Amino acid sequence: MQKSAWRDGLSAIMPEHGHERNKLVRGKWAGWTMPLNWDSTYEIAMELRRLHPSQQMDELSLGQIHAWTLALPEFDDDPALVNDDILYAILQDWLEENLNDD
């Protein structure tokens, strides 16, 4: 099934969301809470960015990202599976979004 056909099929059952229904907003997708895991670096970064909009990036530590991620209500993964590469990926996604807004 092509993407447009998939979208059209979803629009038929969720017309109120139109083509914006699959846009991630606050850890939710089309009104359903999406569980976050360590593979969801971009989604975690966007949720942390939303929750901490005035955070200075040069003052942000990997430990803070780790603690804030574990505190997210949508986060559902084993804390022992994280490593520095994952935390750096979250930091990079957050930083890139901040740069795109400027």
Residue type, 81: L
Nearest to 91, CA basis, from 46, 28, 39: 46
102 — pLDDT class (breaks 50, 70, 90)? low
**CATH code at 23-101:** 1.10.10.600
Does pLDDT of 94 surpass 50? yes
Q: Mind listing the pLDDT tens digit for each residue in 28-74?
A: 544 557 799 999 999 999 999 999 999 999 999 999 999 999 999 99
Instruction: Please state, in angstroms and rounded to a whole number, the distance separating the CA atoms of residues 77 and 23.
Output: 22
Classify strands 28-29 and 32-33 as parallel, antiparallel or unpaired: antiparallel
- Enumerate the β-bridge partners of residue 29: 32
Identify the residue with better confidence: 66 or 9: 66
